[in-house]
């Protein structure tokens, strides 16, 4: 069966420090991968998605970037964190196969920027 992992689960970082959040998927090949952000008490905002290694599409211009160095690894990064980057970050995957649309989420990373 497929599983999706995110780490760390929680992170507290000072303003101006770098960020690296990691997401990995097991049990599937060539998944579509997604990064979302969710502010407290609010809905989901799509940040990036990737349909293959090295292929990244950005949805919202911001202080963040994403990379996909391996088939089942998706990384969210920042060179210098802002206070407004505090949020709950969710990684998700789907097969990307026509007719198979289900999307599954990881447990999330709670980021607090002080």
Partner 1 sequence: GESVGLHLPTLSVQEGDNSIINCAYSNSASDYFIWYKQESGKGPQFIIDIRSNMDKRQGQRVTVLLNKTVKHLSLQIAATQPGDSAVYFCAENSPPGGTYKYIFGTGTRLKVLA
What 3-state DSSP class applies to 7? strand
By CB under 8 A, what part of segment 13-72 binds partner 1? 32, 34, 41-46, 49, 51, 57, 59
Question: Which residue is listed with tokens 């990244």?
Answer: 56
Closest to 90 in 3D by CA, of 35, 42, 11, 31: 35
Residue 11: CA atoms inside 13 Å, Cβ hemisphere, count? 23
The answer to the question of residue 96 lying near partner 1 (CB under 8 A) is yes
The answer to the question of residue 100 lying near partner 1 (CB under 8 A) is yes
Q: Closer to partner 1 at the Cβ: 73 or 88? A: 88
Which positions lie near partner 1, rule CB under 8 A? 6, 32, 34, 41-46, 49, 51, 57, 59, 88, 90, 92, 94-108, 110
């Amino acid at each position: 069966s497929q599983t999706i992992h995110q780490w760390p689960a929680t992170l507290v970082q000072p303003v101006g420090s770098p960020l690296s959040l990691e997401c990995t998927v097991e049990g599937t090949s060539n998944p579509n991968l997604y990064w979302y952000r969710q502010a407290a008490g609010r809905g989901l905002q799509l940040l990036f998605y990737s349909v293959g290694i090295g292929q990244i599409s950005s949805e919202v211009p911001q202080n963040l970037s994403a990379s996909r160095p391996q088939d089942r690894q998706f990384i969210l990064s920042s060179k210098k964190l802002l206070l407004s980057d505090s949020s709950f970050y969710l990684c998700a995957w789907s097969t990307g196969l026509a007719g198979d649309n289900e999307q599954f989420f990881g447990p999330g990373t709670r980021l607090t920027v002080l």
